[in-house]
Amino acid sequence: MVQAFSYKLRWRFREQQSLWAMYVHAKYCSRSSPSEVSPSRRHNPVWRHMFQAGQKIQPLMRWVLGNGHICFWDDTWLEDVPLRKVGNRVTQDNSCVLVLDCWDGEEWDDVKLRELLAQRNCPMALLEKIRLTPFQKIKRDICRWTRTGNGNFSTSSAWQLARVHHPENNIYNQFWCKAVTPSMGVFLWRLVINRIPIDTKLQWRMLHMASKCRCCKKSAIETAEHMFISSEAARRLWNYFGKWMFVEAERMDDEGRTILRLRKWRNFFPGTSQLHISSVLPCLIMWFLWLERNDCTFQDTQFNVGYIKKRVELHLERLIISGIMTKEHWKGARHQHTLLVGRKTRRKYTKATRLDWLAPEGNWVKANTDAAYSSSNNKAG
C-alpha cells in the first residue's frame, strides 16, 4: 500500500493542480524534466520515493495536449513511447523543451519541429503526425492513466500494479462464500498458511510447554495435520461425513495435509459451485473441530465428537432453511438432507443494470461496440 500511495503522490505531482505540486516542481524540476531529475541524499525522502514511483508509472501515463506545459521529449503525448526513445540521445539543451515552445500561434512551428527532429535523427514521418495532433491553449494538459478504462487514476489500480501477484489458488474460494461465515473463513485461511496457535506452533515461537492432543485418548503431539486429519476424533468425523460423499478417509492419499484434504473433497465433484456440499462440509468439520478443541482446553470440558456432528448438521440445516443451500448443492451426494425433500428451488430473476454513456472530451471520438466476436472469421465489433 505504501508503494501504491507513492504512485498516487507522483500522479498528483504531475497533474500540477495544487499549490504543493507547483512548489515541488519549482524546487526540483525548474531546470529539467521530472523524469530526468536524479535524486540525491540531500533531497527530501518523500521526493526520493516519488522519483522511484515515477520510473514505474511513467510508461503508463498519456497526455492530452492543452496549454503545452509538458516535456516535448520525455512525456508520452504523441505515440505509446516518449519521443526521446525514437531516435538517438537528446542533447542536454533540448531535454527541457516544452511542447508550447513548438507552437507558432495556433499552429505548429514547422521550422522548430524540423530542427528538433533533425538533431535526434528522427524520421520525418513524425512531423506529419505532430501536425495532426490537436491542442487547446485555454485548457490544462490532461494526464490519462492507462490502467483504468476511463483514464482516471485510481488507488486500486495502483495497488494492483504494486502488489506481488502470486498464482491463483482456488482453494481460498471455498473460504469466502455465503455458506461459510467470516470467522470460519479467516480461521481456515490461517490454518492453510500455518498461523493457528496449536501447541507445536507455540513451541516454535519459544513458548516452553508440553504438547498433548485433546482429540486423542492416547498421548500424542498436537500438530495441525494430526489434529485435523489423523487424530482419533478427526478420523471418526471424516469417516462419518465421508459416507455422505462416497468417500472413505482411510483411502485418501493426501499425506495428512489439510490443504490437500480440502482440495481432494472438492475434486470429487468437479465443476460444482462453491456452495456444493463437497466444498462446505470439510470447512465445517475443521471449524467445529477447532471450537471443540478450544472448549476442551480453556473451558475444561470433555471432548465430544458427537457434539461436533450435531453442530455441523445444525449449521447445514440453517443454510437450507435460509435458502443458501438447495438441492442443486447436494447433487451427486449419497446423503440428501431431510429438509430438502419436497423443497422447491428458488426461481432466479434477471436483474437489470443501468449503464451510463459518457460523452468524450473535445477533439476525441468514442466508438461504441457490443463486444461481439466471431470465431469463424476472427472479427469483432
Q: What is the pLDDT of residues 294-327, one digit of tens each?
A: 999 899 899 999 999 999 999 999 999 998 988 8
> Are 186 and 62 in a shared domain?
no
Q: Does any domain span residue 80?
A: yes
Q: Does any domain span residue 377?
A: no
Per-residue pLDDT reduced to its tens digit, 367-379: 776 666 676 666 7
Whether residue 331 has pLDDT greater than 90: no
Quote the pLDDT of residue 247.
60
The grid coordinates listed for 311 are 453442530
Confidence class of residue 90 from pLDDT cuts 50, 70 and 90? very low
Q: What angle do CA 249, 250, 255 make, to 5 degrees?
A: 90
> Are 13 and 121 in a shared domain?
yes
> Are 146 and 218 in a shared domain?
no
Question: Smallest Cα–Cα separation from 129: which of 67, 77, 63?
Answer: 77
What type of residue is 5? F
Q: Does any domain span residue 350?
A: no
> Are 118 and 259 in a shared domain?
no
Confidence class of residue 348 from pLDDT cuts 50, 70 and 90? low
Q: Does any domain span residue 271?
A: yes
Domain end residue (candidates: 162, 183, 206): 162
Per-residue pLDDT reduced to its tens digit, 189-208: 999 999 999 999 999 989 88
Residue 152 burial (CB < 10 Å; 0-12/13-18/19+)?
exposed
Q: What percent of the chain has pLDDT over 70?
A: 89
Quote the pLDDT of residue 144.
92
Per-residue pLDDT reduced to its tens digit, 20-44: 999 998 888 887 888 878 778 888 8
The grid coordinates listed for 293 are 478443541
> Are 116 and 155 in a shared domain?
yes
- The number of domains in the chain is 2
> Are 197 and 137 in a shared domain?
no
Lowest-confidence segment of 67-71, 282-286, 338-342 by average pLDDT: 338-342
Domain end residue (candidates: 162, 184, 210): 162
Mean local confidence (pLDDT), 255-265: 80
Q: Does any domain span residue 12?
A: yes
Lowest-confidence segment of 72-86, 247-261, 330-344 by average pLDDT: 247-261
Q: Does any domain span residue 258?
A: yes
Stronger pLDDT, 27 or 360, i.e. the higher one: 27
Q: What's the mean per-residue pLDDT of the chain? A: 84
As a dihedral over the C-alpha atoms of residue 72, residue 28, residue 139, residue 65, rounded to 10 degrees, the angle is: 20
Query: Which own/partner contact pairs does 175-183 have at CB distance under 8 Å and 24+ positions apart?
Result: 175/283, 177/274, 177/275, 177/279, 177/280, 178/275, 178/324, 179/274, 179/275, 179/280, 179/283, 179/319, 179/324, 179/325, 180/280, 180/283, 180/284
> Are 136 and 178 in a shared domain?
no
> Are 130 and 192 in a shared domain?
no
> Are 244 and 219 in a shared domain?
yes
**The whole model's pTM is what?**
0.60
Whether residue 220 has pLDDT greater than 90: no
> Are 34 and 154 in a shared domain?
yes
Mean local confidence (pLDDT), 238-251: 74
Mean local confidence (pLDDT), 351-366: 79
Stronger pLDDT, 80 or 94, i.e. the higher one: 80
Q: Does any domain span residue 375?
A: no
Domain end residue (candidates: 129, 162, 195): 162
Q: Does any domain span residue 253?
A: yes
| Boundaries of domain holding 51 | 2-162
> Are 295 and 270 in a shared domain?
yes
Stronger pLDDT, 102 or 337, i.e. the higher one: 102
> Are 177 and 245 in a shared domain?
yes
Confidence class of residue 94 from pLDDT cuts 50, 70 and 90? very low
